[in-house]
A = this chain, B = another copy of it.
Amino acid sequence: MDRRSLLKGGGFAAAGAAAVASPAIAQGMPEVKWRMASSYPKSLDTLYGAGVQVAKRVAAATDNKFQIQVFAAGEIVGGLQIVDAVQNGTVECGYTLSSYYIGKDPTFMFEASVPWGFNTRHHNAWMQHGGGLQLVRDFLADYNIVNFPAGNTGAQMGGWFRKEINSLEDLKGLKFRIAGMGGQILARLGVVPQVLAGGDIYPALERGTLDAVEWAGPYDDEKLGFVKVAKYYYYPGFWEGTAQTSVYANKEKLAALPESYRNILEAACAEANLWCLSKYDAENPDALRRVVSQGAVPKAFPRDVLEASYKQAFALYGELAAQNPKFKKIFDHWMAFRDKELTWFRIGEFPFDYFIYSQRN
C-alpha cells in the first residue's frame, strides 16, 4: 500500500499522515529504560517469555521510548530474590511468582496460588473484579511493590515419582522435592519435603536420595528429563490449581513514569497474563504426548491423598489466619469469594466440561 492509498483509506487525515511520519513524531516522548529481573531461565520460554512479551509490547507501543530489558535468573539477582531487588530498587521491576516468598510471610501465597484453592478462572475473577488485586496490592505496598498479574501456568501436574502412590500410606517418609505451601501441607501427611537447587534434582532422583519431584506441567517438565528416572507422572498438582506470575514494579519508579507509559505497562501485563496461560494450554498437549512416548505413565493421585491433603490445607490456613492478621484479612475475603465461585461454576461451567471430557472426542 503506497502513501496515497494510506491517506485515502484513513478516516482522518491526521491518522493517515501519522502512519508515515510516526518515527519522527514520537521524539517528544521521554526515554525510559527499565531492567526486569526474572525468576526464570531463558529456557523456560513461557514464563521467561511472558516478561519478554511485556517488554516487546511496551517498546512497540512507545516507539521504543520505554525500554525494558529482561534479565534471566542469576544475571542480576537470583531467581528467588526478586522481592528484595525490586523493594530496594536494585531493579525497576521483576517477573516472579509470589509463592517463592512465603518464608517472608505466608500471605504472599494469595497472589499466585493457594493449594486446593482457586483454578485460573476463579483466581482471575477474584483478582480483577472480586477485590483481590487491591487486597494484594495493599499487602505488597509494605514491600514497596506494585504488582501486575502477567502470566499463569494453569493447573500443574503433581510431579514425577519413582514408585507408585497407591494410598496415603505411601506418602510416609517420601522424600519429595516440593517447595512452598504445598510442601508444608504434604509434611502434615508424612512427606519429607526437600528443597534442592535446579541442577541437583536430577542426580538426586537418579541416586534415589530423592523419591519424587514436582516442577510444573509437561511443557516445562519435559526439558528437565525427569521421565528417565521417575516415570510415574501424577495429577492433579493440587498445590497449584493455578499459578499466577506477576510483574513487580518498584513503587517509586512506577510513580515516576508518565501516565501513558504506566497505562501501557498495565495493559501489556494483562495481555501477557492471557498470552502465557494460552501458551501453556497450547503447548502442554504435545509435550504430554512426547513424555508418554518416552515412558511417562500418567496416574491420578489416590482419593485418600486428595481428601487428606484438602483437609490439611484448610486446617493449615486456619492456623495461619489465627496467627497472622495480614493473612487473615485476605484469607477471609478469599474464602467468601471462593464459596460463591464454587457454587456458580458447578452449574455454569463444570457440566459443559464434564460432558465433553467424557466423550471419545
Residues of A contacting B: mostly: helix
* Centre residue among A7, A34, A241, A263 by max chain B CB count within 10 A: A263
Contact at A283–B129, with CB atoms within 8 Å?
Answer: yes
A11 within 8 A of B: yes
Interface readout for A240-262 with B: 1 if CB under 8 Å, 0 if not?
Answer: 01000000001111011111110
Contact at B6–A256, with CB atoms within 8 Å?
Answer: yes
A33 within 8 A of B: yes
Interchain CB contact (< 8 A) of A236 among B17, B124, B355: B355
A142-201 CB contacts (< 8 Å) to partner B: 154-155, 157
Give Cα A267 to B265, complex, Å. Answer: 10
How many chain A residues sit at the interface, stated as a range, is 35 or more
A256 contact set on B, CB distance < 8 A: 6-7, 9-12, 15-16, 18-19
A278 contact set on B, CB distance < 8 A: 121, 124-125, 127-129
Contact at B345–A275, with CB atoms within 8 Å?
Answer: no
Contact at B28–A12, with CB atoms within 8 Å?
Answer: no
Give Cα A288 to B339, complex, Å. Answer: 13
Contact at B344–A15, with CB atoms within 8 Å?
Answer: no
A14-32 CB contacts (< 8 Å) to partner B: 14-19, 21-22, 25-32
Contact at B283–A11, with CB atoms within 8 Å?
Answer: no
Selecting from A57-65, A202-210, A223-231, A326-334, the interface stretch reads A57-65
A255-302 CB contacts (< 8 Å) to partner B: 255-261, 263-264, 266-268, 270-271, 273-275, 277-279, 281-286, 288-289, 298, 300
| Count of this chain's copies in the oligomeric assembly | 2
Interchain CB contact (< 8 A) of A122 among B251, B263, B281, B339: B281
A119 within 8 A of B: yes
Interchain CB contact (< 8 A) of A25 among B61, B120, B258, B353: B258
| A53 nearest CB across to chain B (Å) | 10
Contact at A347–B29, with CB atoms within 8 Å?
Answer: no
A217 within 8 A of B: yes
* Centre residue among A5, A288, A300, A355 by max chain B CB count within 10 A: A355
Closest to A360 in B: B342
Contact at B277–A124, with CB atoms within 8 Å?
Answer: yes
Contact at A357–B345, with CB atoms within 8 Å?
Answer: yes
A266 contact set on B, CB distance < 8 A: 271
Give Cα A270 to B263, complex, Å. Answer: 14
* Centre residue among A120, A128, A217 by max chain B CB count within 10 A: A128
Contact at A255–B19, with CB atoms within 8 Å?
Answer: yes
| A326 nearest CB across to chain B (Å) | 23
Instruction: Write 21 A-B pairs (CB below 8 A) sorted by A numbering.
Output: A9-B256, A10-B255, A15-B253, A18-B30, A18-B261, A19-B257, A22-B259, A28-B28, A119-B352, A124-B274, A125-B281, A125-B282, A128-B279, A130-B282, A155-B348, A155-B353, A157-B348, A238-B352, A274-B274, A285-B344, A342-B357
